[in-house]
Amino acid sequence: MMKNSKIAFDLDGVVYDFVRPFDKFMKNNGFPLKDETKYNIEKRYNIARKEGFEKLDDYGKTRPFLTIPLYERAKMEMERLVKHYELYIITHRDWSKFGIEDTIKRVKNDELPVDRENIIFAKNKGDWAKKLDVCLFYEDSMENANDILNKSNSLVAIINTPYNKGNADRIVRIDW
């Protein structure tokens, strides 16, 4: 283990519980969960794609990144790893109007051991894993995991969830 080695974390579904609060939001807005094994909004709630993204935008306006639950075991893992690795957060929260501002505030308030300059807001996680030469990436989306695996030499620690079943080389499944 060398301090110049890099490990990246996604936030939603990995460090923070985004899914259960979003499922509750959707149910309260007339769209109950239809299939917990699906990741994409239209299949998960059986709604049109456009309507799904409108609901996601509505949810973003509630500023969820300030309040969704922290996975304490994820924080403990980060605290353990930062002793030997440089940590990064690579998240696509910039889809929300307040995503960047609220994420930076929350990471600071929760005292996650990641320097501000190591928080990257981007959808293309595989490209960033390659650019940074990440050796391990914590993720919850199989689509993102495959992108990371295809574009980089990174291993992926995927958080076990009903919506990300499947296996691939260089994936390790973990539970918080």
Indicate the pTM of the whole model: 0.94
Query: How large is the average pLDDT for residues 32-41?
Result: 95
Indicate the CATH number of 6-17+69-174 among 3.40.50.1000, 3.30.70.1140, 3.30.870.10, 3.30.390.50. Answer: 3.40.50.1000
Q: What is the mean pLDDT of residues 143-150?
A: 95
Backbone angles phi, psi at 96, to 5 degrees: -95, 140
For residue 79, the model assigns a pLDDT of 98
CB 39 within 8 A of CB 163: yes
With CA atoms as reference, report the closest residue to 6 among 138, 110, 103, 111.
138
> Residue 48 — φ and ψ, nearest 5°?
-65, 150
> In the chain, helix, strand, coil percent, each to 5?
45, 20, 40
Please state the domain extents for the chain.
Answer: 6-17+69-174, 19-65
If one counts every other C-beta atom within 10 angstroms of the C-beta of residue 59, the result is 17
Specify the pLDDT at position 26: 97
Q: Could you count the other beta carbons within 10 Å of the beta carbon of residue 8?
A: 29
Answer whether residue 2 shows pLDDT above 80.
Answer: no
Q: Which pLDDT score, from 0 to 100, does residue 165 have?
A: 86
Find the mean pLDDT for residues 57-85.
97
- Mean pLDDT, residues 82-99: 95
Reported as a single tens digit per residue, the pLDDT across 96-137 is 999 999 999 999 999 999 999 999 999 999 999 999 999 999
What mean pLDDT value characterizes the chain? 95
Which residues in 83-101 are b (16+ Cβ under 10 Å) and which e?
Answer: eebbbbbbbbbeebebbee
